[in-house]
Amino acid sequence: MRSSEEKSQLKKFPKRLQSFYANWSKHQSPEWMDAKLVVFRAPPSSRYWCAASSSRDQCDPDQDSLNFFEWLFGESLDDAYIVLSLTEIYAVCTDGNYDCSYNAKFLSSFTDVAKKKVGVDFVVKGKDSGRTLRETLVAMASGFRRQMRPPGVKEKEKEKEMEKVVVGFIGDKAPDVELAKWMEWKDVTDAFCRVAGYK
């Protein structure tokens, strides 16, 4: 049986996720820098030293990505990434995560709510899946590339014909992941802070 705190967070989750998506969809440019994907990262052992507060006057750039987990899920995690598109959420536990089983179990409790209340697929992968963050980003971005390719443009030609897929990140710097040459990082920290009420 779920605790009252867990039930309360499950009620907040779809409302906050809907507000996040509504703002992102409405203000893709310029606020969200035309990002098609947004990445949030929880560094190792973040649960033990990060405590976000919605009453703060402004965001601390070093804490913003961690604040996302607190704001949306009600708890910070350790050594995990969340990748969002407008139709899918993909959670990745990295190879160095000693508490990956906790992350996977915790995040999986939100998957049904995400689908039923918001209409987005929420996929949770542990380190045993072998799926890296880069592979996840390239796979999800490739879907956008196929949709964006003009009729009659061949695969080899489209890199010259089409704009890069923007991947938004939160915090003081982008994750240490080399993107494909047709992708690029852009800072969307301010956009998230406005949605979460930090600014």
Strand extents, DSSP E, 43-182:
80-84, 88-93, 121-125, 165-169
**Within 13 Å and on the Cβ side, how many CA atoms surround 129?**
17
CB-CB contact of 37 with 85 (8 Å): yes
Q: Which residue has the higher pLDDT, 19 or 144?
A: 19
Task: Write down all domains in the chain, each with its CATH number in brackets.
Answer: 4-148+160-196 (3.40.350.10)
Read off the pLDDT of each residue in 36-58 and give the average, rounded to a whole number: 62
- Under DSSP, the state recorded for 2 is -
Average pLDDT over the chain, rounded to an integer: 81
Q: What is the DSSP letter of 46?
A: G
| Beta strands 121-125; 88-93: pairing state | parallel
Portion of the chain with pLDDT greater than 90, in percent: 44
Closest CA to 191 of 52, 13, 17, 29: 29
Reduced to 3 states (helix: H, G, I; strand: E, B; else coil), residue 123 is strand
Which tokens go with 188? 């969307």
* Mean pLDDT of the region 151-155: 59
CA–CA distance, 89 with 37 (Å, rounded to integer): 10
pLDDT tens digits, residue range 128-152? 766 788 899 999 999 888 777 666 6
pTM exceeds 0.85, yes or no: no
CA neighbor of 103 nearest in space, from 175, 20, 44, 16: 44
